[in-house]
A and B are shown apart, each in its own frame.
Chain A
Amino acid sequence: MKYFKSTKIQNYLVRILATMIVVIIISCSMTIDSVVQPPSVNGGEIIPVTLNVKIETNEGQTSKLMIAVLVPKIWKASQKIKASFTSSVSSGPQQMTLIPAGTAAPKGNGLDWPAYLANKIGNGGNLINDWEWIAFYSNADYALGGNKTETATVSLQIPTTDDNVAFKLGYVVANSTDGLSGTDRYGSYFTGCFRVNGSGDLIDFCNPQLATVEPRTSQDNDIVTINFDAGVATNKLETSSAIYLCGKGFTTRGDSVVVCAANQQSKLTSLGAGRWRMDIWPRQFFMQTNDTTHLTRIEYYFTDITGNVKVGYGGGNTPFVFTFKCQ
């Protein structure tokens, strides 16, 4: 006992223990070492992605490989993504299959993989809440020995749509036994802003926007939330104490309706910290009473009470545009 009371011996014990813990932690790790993908594609093209994955084990385990991808919902990619891999423990391309929604993730407290990933990994810095995680399991289970370092090269073919999108793609690698139960049990990787050069209004998930509309896909008979964040960029309404919506609605008849009076109906609600919000029923706001006529898009500014100070796209004089359409 005298030995254990010695400070020197205690220090050695602490170091040995720490080393053991580090060895255990490191030897369980799954990492995405690098991601190879183009910086942009044209609308409708497929994004070819390669993930270089490293798996280090401290004990034998037999599991399926799990790969997840963070994409915009508008791509409706879950049934279309093709995923496969080659690895140091298998021969030839190995196929992967979409994990059906509702399938409980291991150690996920009953959550399925998309919800588990959203809770644990998040949105990768995408600022519009219209993304989804899509997860795949390898078709086969793989037995890995203890204290081994293995590699896998994952190939993903991600389809896009014709929409004009800026998005931060995200990837996660894990296995069917450990799930996301510890930060050493999975690897994640988020790319910079990826561009799909499509058509229509730019759906920019990457950069803070002065104005955003929710739900991002809406019709004129939805309740639409228009947000104005005066603090994200220099603009003439940064210090205004009241903000109003000034808009023009374009109809399927080919005409347009301007609603630009600063009053209670057009006044945004302050959320504090320069953030403002307004919930409108576009058909009511733009006085559309004929059932056969619909709004196709709106152009809008934010104004002060006088209506003389206007803020449009990028803080300038060009109006913000929102096109009514569904996915």
Chain B
Amino acid sequence: MKKFIGIASFLLLLVGFSCKKENTATPAEPVKEITGSWRIIKALRNGTDLTTRFDFSAFRIKFSDGNYTIENPVPFIVNKPGTWKFDDPVYPFNISFRTGSDSATSAIQYPVVGGVRNLVVSFSPGCQSNIYEYTLQKEN
């Protein structure tokens, strides 16, 4: 009987000390960082892939702290330098560009593809019925 009580007490202690408070804190979503130079890696017009049909290779958009510049423009939401901002720095759904008195907003996605962060913007540079979707990738 004494042996049984001893084993039971040991198991009880083991169970008691093995309990640890669960860490339920949600990891903080990082602020979406787009500073740097981005190039077009995919371009769709009304769902038609134009990536290899039109020369997008020289286009660059360079984001810095609240500002952007564009090199070798192609039909895009903006073609002149200016300022930019997300509607939400952590969970952005839209990006706004302002150049002089003009402004334009694009819906964005921010997927990671193959371990690389992409920025997908959609807009209409000409007729509103023509929807373009560019996938931008940051240059190293």
Chain A residues within CB distance 8 Å of chain B: 215, 217-223, 225, 269, 277, 279, 281, 326-327
User: Contact between B75 and A326 (Cβ–Cβ < 8 Å)?
Assistant: no
Bound Cα distance from A279 to B49, whole angstroms:
12
Residues of chain A within 8 A (CB-CB) of B46 are: 215
List residues 48-104 of chain B with CB under 8 A from any CB of chain A.
Answer: 50, 53-54, 74-75
Q: A219-B126, A222-B45, A223-B54 are in contact. List 16 more A-B contacts (CB 8 A).
A: A215-B45, A215-B130, A218-B126, A221-B75, A221-B126, A222-B126, A222-B127, A222-B130, A223-B75, A279-B54, A281-B75, A326-B126, A326-B128, A326-B129, A327-B127, A327-B129
Nearest Cβ on chain B to A58's Cβ, whole angstroms: 41
B125 at the interface (CB under 8 A from A): yes
Q: Is A279's CB under 8 angstroms from B126's CB?
A: no
CA distance A222 to B50 in the complex (A): 12
Tell which of A218, A221, A279 touches B50, judged by Cβ atoms closer than 8 Å: A279
Q: In the assembly, what is the distance between CA of A277 and CA of B54, in Å?
A: 11
Contact between chains at A215 and B54 (CB < 8 Å): no
Residues of B within 8 A of A269 (CB): 53
Chain B hits for A277, CB < 8 A: 53
Contacts A281-B74, A281-B75; is A221 near B125 (CB within 8 Å)?
Answer: yes
Give B residues with C-beta under 8 Å from A: 45-46, 50, 53-54, 74-75, 125-130, 132
Residues of B within 8 A of A221 (CB): 75, 125-126
Find chain A residues with CB under 8 A from B125 CB. Answer: 219, 221-222
Of chain B, the residue at the smallest CB distance from A283 is: B75
On whether the beta carbons of B129 and A217 are closer than 8 Å, the reply is yes
Shortest Cβ distance from A128 into chain B, in angstroms? 13
Residues in B with CB closer than 8 Å to A217 are 127, 129-130
Which residues from chain A contact B128 at a C-beta distance below 8 Å?
Answer: 326
What B residues does A222 contact at CB under 8 A? 45, 75, 125-127, 130
Contact A223 B129 (CB under 8 A): no
B126 engages A220 (CB within 8 Å) = yes
| Interchain CB contact under 8 A, B45 and A223 | yes
Q: How far is the CB of A284 from chain B (nearest CB, A)?
A: 8
Q: How far is the CB of A50 from chain B (nearest CB, A)?
A: 32
Whole-angstrom distance between the Cβ of B84 and the nearest chain A Cβ: 19
Q: Which 7 A-B pairs have the closest CB atoms?
A: A219-B126, A222-B126, A326-B127, A221-B126, A279-B54, A221-B125, A279-B53
Shortest C-beta distance, A229 to chain B (Å), equals: 17
- Interface contact A219-B54, CB-CB below 8 Å: no
Residue from A219, A225, A279, A281 within 8 A of B127 (CB atoms): A219
A112 CA to B36 CA, complexed, in Å? 42
Beta-carbon contact of A218 and B127 below 8 Å: yes
With both beta carbons as reference points, the residue of chain B lying nearest to A281 in the complex is identified as B75
Assess the B54–A218 pair: CB atoms within 8 A.
no
How far does the alpha carbon of A215 sit from the alpha carbon of B53 in the complex, in Å? 15
Query: What is the bound-complex CA distance between A269 and B128, given in angstroms?
Result: 28
For A223, the chain B residues whose CB sits under 8 A away are 45, 50, 54, 74-75, 132
Q: Chain A residue with minimal CB distance to B73?
A: A284
22 contacts between A and B (CB under 8 A): A215-B129, A215-B130, A217-B129, A217-B130, A218-B127, A218-B130, A219-B125, A219-B127, A221-B75, A221-B125, A222-B75, A222-B127, A222-B130, A223-B45, A223-B50, A223-B54, A279-B53, A281-B54, A281-B75, A326-B128, A326-B129, A327-B129
Whole-angstrom distance between the Cβ of B122 and the nearest chain A Cβ: 14
Interface centre among A219, A222, A269, A277 (most CB of B within 10 A): A222
Minimum CB–CB distance for A212 against chain B, Å: 14
